Amino acid sequence: MAGDSRRSFLTGLAGALGALALPAALRPAPLLAAPLEKVRELGVLRVGLYADNRPWSWDRDGTPSGIDVELARVLAEHLGVRADIALFPADEELSDDLRNVVWRGGLLGFQRCDVMLHVPFDRQIMAQEDNVVFLAPYYRESFGAACAADIGDCEAPPVQMHGKRLAAELDSIPDFYLLGSFGGILARDVTHLPSGYAAVAALGEDKADFAVASRAQIEAALADHPDAAIRKRKGPLPAMLSPGWDIGIAVKENSRSLGFVLEEEIMAMAADGRMKTIFARHGVEWQPALAAQPSAS
């Protein structure tokens, strides 16, 4: 049901108006409006973002920084309120994060947020999570690779990197890819780092030769280390375990009113170039989500 209404909406901005109208018809208006009005009344939009998730959201000398942080500030400004950015540690999997951040809150007093950004936008997950509403897919992410300056052909099959220093984020698909693919031949060459960004940055510090990370992590680390001559691999990685995924936002099930207003603004940002500008400030080329492209459905 959620999937069906999404499909009509995702075909374009005009569809969004239709999606807005649908739940309004199903629910009494005052109840629907409450979460949005509460945010306006209190003058604060509390936004949950992953801690240590550069270039999306991280703590730069005590100030939350990154693409998602800037996006959160624009959304708050659009509502005419202040943004309260809550950087939270990732739990074991997405459904834990949604419980801690979006619909219940933490057991030890972490207050749930009005909205969480950087939420994977996936139909199967939507069907499982009935306490939250997934909206506004705003970016298409995928995994890629990068090479240190002096490592030769970056387009070579990864097996040929055997014996070189390989870097990946601990406990991630890039990690599993390097450890487990090609009969495990690369496993002993893998250095584990706390983030994909750090894995790519290590290429510029002579600590690694080849890194697998997300595209945003690669592009941001390249931009931040212009003198290191790190190279981004152009071709796809053979036998990569994920084809890529969309990223959107999530609000609590009873906060659709707020979610739809935020979605409308995000779509407007995508359309008028503001989204592209924010990403570019962090060295990342904005890629529209597959689900937000008319051809996708």
Partner 1 sequence: MKRRFSKLIAVLAAAGSTIAVPLHAAGPTSADLMNDAESTGDVLSYGLGPWQQRFSPLDTLNADNVSKLVPAFAASLGGEKQRGQEAQPLVYDGTIYVTGSYSRLFAFDARTGEKKWEYNARLPDAIMPCCDVVNRGAAIHGDKVIFATLDAHLIALNRETGKVVWNKKLADYQAGYSATAAPLIVKDMVITGNSGGEFGIIGEVQARNVDTGELIWSRPTIEGHMGMLNGRENGVTGKTGATWPGDMWKTGGGATWLGGTYDPGTNLLFFGTGNPAPWNSHLRPGDNLYTSSTLAIDADTGVIKWHYQTTPHDGWDFDGVNEFIPFDATMNGKPMKLGAKADRNGYFYVLDRSNGKLLGAHKFVMETTWANGINLKTGRPNYVDANRPGAPAGPDKGKSVFASPSFLGGKNWMPMAYSQDTGLFYVPSNDWGMDIWNEPIAYKKGAAYLGAGFTIRPIAEDHIGALRAMDPKTGKIVWEYKNAAPLWGGVLTTHGNLVFTGTPEGYLKAFDAKTGKELWKFQTGSGVVGSPITWMQDGEQYVAVMSGWGGAVPLWGGEVAKTFKEISQGGMLWVFKLPK
61 lines the binding site for partner 1 (CB under 8 A):
no
Which residue number, 4 or 171, has a Cβ lying nearer to partner 1?
171
- Residue 116 or 262 with smaller CB distance to partner 1: 116
Tokens of 49: 């973002």
Q: Which is nearer to partner 1, 176 or 223 (CB)?
A: 176
Quick one: which segment of 36-44, 105-113, 225-233, 270-278 binds partner 1 (CB under 8 A)? Answer: 105-113
Q: Which of 60, 82, 162, 188 binds partner 1 (CB under 8 A)?
A: 188
Q: Is 269 in the site for partner 1 (CB under 8 A)?
A: no
Is 70 an interacting residue with respect to partner 1 (CB under 8 A)? Answer: no
C-alpha 142, offset from chain centre: 10
- Residues near 294 by beta carbon (within 8 Å), at least 6 away in sequence: 11, 12
Q: For partner 1, give the closer residue by CB, 61 or 171.
A: 171
Report the C-alpha gap between 10 and 4 in whole angstroms: 10
Contact yes or no for 290/9 (Cβ under 8 A) = no
Q: Does 58 bind partner 1 (CB under 8 A)?
A: no
Q: Residues binding partner 1: what is the number (CB under 8 A)?
A: 51
CB 256 to partner 1: min, Å: 22
The answer to whether 53 touches 118, Cβ cutoff 8 Å, is yes
User: 43, 157, 184, 238: which one contacts partner 1 (CB under 8 A)?
Assistant: 184
Dist. CA 215–CA 200, nearest whole Å: 10
Asked if 243 interacts with partner 1 (CB under 8 A), we say yes
In the set 20, 24, 33, 125, which binds partner 1 (CB under 8 A)?
A: 125
Q: Are residues 49 and 64 in contact, defined by beta-carbon separation less than 8 angstroms?
A: yes
297 near partner 1, rule: CB under 8 A:
no
CA atoms within 13 A on the CB side of 66: 25
Tokens of 87: 């950087």
Choose between 53 and 257: whose C-beta lies nearer to partner 1: 53
Residue 113 touching partner 1 (CB under 8 A): no
Q: Which long-range contacts (CB under 8 A, 24 or more apart) does 78-81 make?
A: 78/261, 78/262, 78/265, 79/36, 79/39, 79/40, 79/45, 79/261, 80/40, 81/39, 81/40, 81/42, 81/43, 81/44, 81/45
- Alpha-carbon span 119 to 203, nearest angstrom: 28
Whether the CB-CB separation of 82 and 44 falls below 8 Å is answered with yes
Quick one: which of 4, 61, 93, 227 contacts partner 1 (CB under 8 A)? 93
Q: Which of 8, 11, 131, 242 binds partner 1 (CB under 8 A)?
A: 242
| Binds partner 1 (CB under 8 A): choice among 110, 223, 254, 274 | 110
**CB 48 → partner 1: shortest distance, Å?**
11
Q: Is 150 in the site for partner 1 (CB under 8 A)?
A: no
**What distance in Å separates the CA atoms of residue 180 and residue 258, rounded to the nearest whole number?**
43
Q: For binding to partner 1 (CB under 8 A), which residues are involved?
A: 50, 53, 56, 88-94, 96, 100, 106-111, 118-120, 122, 124-125, 141, 143, 170-173, 175-176, 179-180, 184, 187-192, 194, 196, 214, 239, 241-245, 247
